Amino acid sequence: MSPCPLAYSAPLGQLFINSTGISRLAMRAATCSNTPMDRDEIRAMRRSYGELGLSESDANPNPITQFEIWLTTAAENPYVVEANAMVLGTISGDQPKARSVLLKEVSENGFVFYSNYESDKGKQISQNQNVSLTFPWFPMERQVIVLGTATKVSKAESADYFATRPWPSQIGAWASNQSEVIADRDSLQKNWDEIAAKYPEGSTVPLPPNWGGYCVEPHSIEFWQGRYSRLHDRLRYALDANKKWQLTRLAP
Ligand SMILES: Cc1cc2nc3c(=O)[nH]c(=O)nc-3n(C[C@H](O)[C@H](O)[C@H](O)COP(=O)(O)O)c2cc1C
C-alpha cells in the first residue's frame, strides 16, 4: 500500500503508540483508508489518563499565574501544536458558535485575541458579550475553560499589534471581509492583489477600521487535568462578590 501524503508525522504518530483505539486511527491515516469507522473503533478511542495531577495545594492562588504556567508548559511541549490556539464560543440568540482563534496576550486584564469586528463572531459579541475560551491541550491531557466578557481593546493597542504582523497578514486583513459569502477564490485573490499594490511590501499598512482586538475579562477559569480511572482533576476559580478568586473542585 502506498504511503499517504497526509499520514501523521513521526512525532505525532508516537502520541498514539500506547493507546489501543487511537493507534488504529493512526494506522488508518497512514494507509489512507476511506472505510468508515465502525462503532467499536469509535468506542475504542479511549485513553487511560495519567499520573500528573492538579491539587489545591499546587494550584497557584492566582488563576492567571496558573494559566501562564500551563501555557508555558504547553508551548514547550513538542506534541502541542499552536499552544496559544483557543476555541472561542459566542452566542447569537439561542444559537452558540465556536471557532479557533489565537491568544495574543494574557494579563490580569484578561485574554486578548484579534479578529474582524464585522465577522460572525464580531456581530455576535456586539449582541452578547458573554463568551467562552477553551484551550484544548489534548497531548497533555489538559484543558482550560475561561468564561468571561469580551470588549474591544483600544484602537491604539490594535494598531500597535497590527504593525507587528507580517505584511501578507496585514494585506489579508484588508482583503477579506471575514465571514461574508464570496463568489469564488479568484475574487479574494483579486482583492488581495489590489490592496497589495496599494500598500506594497515595506510600506506602512494602516489598521483596517473593522479589525482589532478583543479582551476577554474572565469571571471563571477551570483547569482540567486527565487522571487515571477517569478521576480527572477539575479546579475552578470563580470571582466572588468581592472580586476575589475562590477555588473549588468539580466532579469530573
Ligand atoms: C488554529 C487557528 C487559529 C485561528 N486564529 C484566528 C484568529 O486569531 N483570529 C481570527 O479572526 N480567526 C482565526 N482563525 C479562523 C477562525 O477560526 C474563523 O474561521 C474566523 O475567525 C471566522 O469566524 P466567524 O465566521 O465565526 O467570525 C483561526 C483558525 C484556526 C484553525
Contact between 108 and 64 (Cβ < 8 Å): yes
d(CA 146, CA 64): 11
Residue ranges lining ligand 1, Cβ < 6 Å = 82, 85, 97, 99-102, 113-116, 119-121, 178-179
Mean pLDDT, rounded, for 83-87: 98
Q: 214 CA distance to ligand 1 centroid (A)?
A: 13
Average pLDDT, the chain: 87
DSSP-derived 3-state class of residue 58: coil
Active-site residue, from 230, 234, 236, 249: 230
pLDDT at 12 over 90: no
Q: 21 CA distance to ligand 1 centroid (A)?
A: 30
Contact between 112 and 153 (Cβ < 8 Å): yes
**pLDDT one-digit tens code per residue, 116-149:** 999 999 999 999 999 999 999 999 999 999 999 9
CA 99 to ligand 1: nearest atom: 17
CATH of 63-249, one of 2.30.110.10, 3.40.50.11540, 2.10.10.90, 2.60.40.2130: 2.30.110.10
**pLDDT one-digit tens code per residue, 190-214:** 999 999 999 999 999 999 999 999 9
Cα 213 to the center of its chain, rounded Å: 15
Residue position matching grid coordinates 484578561: 110
Domain ranges of the chain: 10-43, 63-249
Q: Which of 97, 100, 119, 211 to mutate to test the pocket of ligand 1 (most atoms within 8 A of CB)?
A: 100
Asked if 230 is an active-site residue, the reply is: yes
d(CA 210, CA 74): 32
Of the two residues 52 and 223, the one the predictor is more confident about is 223
